[in-house]
Amino acid sequence: MRGILPVVGSLALLIAAPAPTAADTNATPAWYGHGHRVSSGDLVVRALAMGNNSTIATSRSGTACAAEASTTGNVQVNCLAEDGTSRQNTQSETTVAAFGNTVVVGYNDSVVCCFPAINFTGYSVSTDGGKTFTDQGNLPWVNSVQPIGDPTVAHDDSGNFYFASLALSSTGFGSRSLISFYKMAAGSTTFQLLSVPVNVGDELKFFADKEYLAVGRDQNGQTHFYITWTFFSTVVPSPIMLTDSSDGVNWRTTMVSTADACAQGSNPVPAGGTVYVSWFQSVPAGCTNFSITAANAMMATVDVASGTVANRTAIGPINGSGDKIVACNNAADLREVIETAPGHDARNFEMPSTTIDGNGVLYAAWNDRPAGVGGGNSNATRIFLSVSRDGNQTWSAPQVISGRVSRQVMGDRFQPWITIDGSGVHAMWYQRVAGNTVDLIQADKEDLTLATASADPQPGAETAISSVAFPIVQTNPQQDPVISFCYMGDYNNIGSNGTTRFVTWGDNRNVVQTSAGAENQPDVFLQSY
């Protein structure tokens, strides 16, 4: 099952569920499951068991702070000064959206956690086309809606920005697992809570995880909001859900995978009266045996008007993308990781990034290894791309779009994301490169042609977009006391305003003095081109 565990929350909860009704999930959902829970934790909320800690920030939402100019190239997105000397200094797992000169970047942010409130979802705003950023602190906090990460940001065609995040209804036992939804009006630089689209109930029994947001015009020409997410309960299967709305206040929820899908890592792609939803899905045996890493990248075609699933199609097979499988938070929490040295692990899973061009061609990119987990340098993780020209009926044979692997270093490429504008397909990912004593990580980009009726996208040169390479920090055990072991962010992002691309990633180049001494600090960087 590899990464098919909730990635934020006090407990990682596993699920199975009967098909849901298309009810407003602001009410108690109708598809509660049964079974047991397993502890895992991901980003967080181990802090709930820590008791009060005077070194932990007490602001509920942080404060606005100008991000410092980088002295090593690229653009620093978050404010270093706000972290002070705290070891709770993680900013990573990025999402980006751009409209004109306004660029909004969301990320997980541990500095505000955890007393008197949980708040793990930070964001920064640029009004000069990504040249400089103001770290706006974290999303607005209210007692009944406390954001806990997994950021995703999007905009409409009027320049309004929207943000979705996982959330909890309180810090106590029996807190309800939520997905919260926010709006930043055009011309503003701050988000306000708009609604709570998803409420699955007691987070000790049920958990909504890994949500992703998209905004588009529907079949009626109305702005429509789509949030996909994974529904974990207390038995193993974890179906993919779609929660959608035409006003951002009243929501409908539909199960888009099968009820027994062992799935995770979804994202929606609006296309008028249709929305396509992608995810990765383990083979059944992998749901209970973590050493089985076989899976498929999947996509569902959903009719927006009726909320019904027209078809589900396998995009391509997955073998497993990690260098190895290691125990992270406990002996039972086995995860695929990219490991540059013992204890320096970046957990990894095969979430497909999907998008659509103006001709209706669908694109899907994901990371994988030809022979599955492990192996020598020739089996390094690489980036695959597939296209569908017939609306998710069939998909092309996956092609490798990342550069050649090396005989001298385990040249893994991982955590890809893609976007499309008029100039083509644009992709980003991490690349593992040789360092002086241990391997380092850099962010790369690649531009490809759009698919035609007879030709798949043609990749250009893979080039580094981060100005320096950086280490995987100590993650297993974790140097940040409230971050899950093996975590270095689960995704990065690339977006376009139509003429300029904006690449964002978690970056560990900055060395700072903390209460424990000098450490490489996880921060957020951006580069436009």
| Among 402, 23, 34, 406, residue whose Cα is nearest residue 206 | 34
The reply to whether 243 falls in a domain is no
Beta-carbon neighbour count of residue 113 at 10 Å?
29
Is the pLDDT reported for residue 25 higher than 70? Answer: no
Q: Where are the beta strands (DSSP E) in 273-408?
A: 274-282, 295-303, 308-318, 324-327, 334-341, 344-347, 353-356, 362-368, 382-388, 399-400
Average pLDDT over residues 341-365: 98
CA–CA distance, 298 with 317 (Å, rounded to integer): 9
* pLDDT single digits (tens) 222-273: 999 999 999 999 876 899 999 999 999 999 999 999 999 999 999 999 999 9
pLDDT mean over 73-93: 97
pLDDT of 28 > 60? The answer is no
Across 35-57, average pLDDT: 38
User: Domain total for the chain?
Assistant: 1
The reply to whether 209 falls in a domain is no
Question: Under 8 Å CB-to-CB from 298, ≥6 apart: which residues?
Answer: 257, 261, 263, 278, 279, 280, 281, 312, 313, 314, 315
Q: pLDDT, tens digit, for every residue of 373-392? A: 999 999 999 999 999 999 99
Looking at per-residue pLDDT, the higher value among 54 and 141 belongs to 141
179-233 per-position pLDDT tens digit: 999 999 999 999 999 999 999 999 989 999 999 999 999 999 999 999 999 999 9
Instruction: Check whether 358 has a pLDDT greater than 50.
Output: yes
pLDDT greater at residue 172 or residue 279? 279
- Asked if the structure places residue 9 within a domain, the reply is no
The type of residue at 173 is F
Range in 164-178, 330-344, 460-474 the model is least confident about: 164-178
What's the number of CA atoms in the CB half-sphere (13 Å) around residue 514? Answer: 22
Tell me the C-alpha distance between 256 and 240, whole Å: 6
Residue 236: the pLDDT is 62
- Dihedral sign (CA 227, 229, 234, 238): positive
- Look at residue 336 and tell me whether its pLDDT is greater than 80: yes
**Dihedral over Cα of 323, 325, 326, 330: its sign:** positive
Structural domain including 357 reads: 321-485
Query: What is the average pLDDT value for the chain, to the nearest integer?
Result: 90
Q: How many CA atoms lie within 13 A of 137 on its CB side?
A: 17
Domain assignment of residue 397, yes or no: yes
DSSP calls for 44-75: S-GGGGT---TTS---SS---EEPPPPSSSSE
Q: Tell me, yes or no, whether 362 lies in a domain.
A: yes
Give mean pLDDT, residues 486-491. 98
Q: Flag whether 474 is in a domain.
A: yes
DSSP state letters, 226-275: EEEEEEE-SSS-B-EEEEEESSSSS-EEEE-S-TT-BEEEEEEEEETTEE
Q: How much of the chain exceeds pLDDT 70, in percent?
A: 88
Helix (H) or strand (E) holding 496: strand 493-496
Task: Determine, yes or no, domain membership for 380.
Answer: yes
Residue 364 domain-assigned? yes
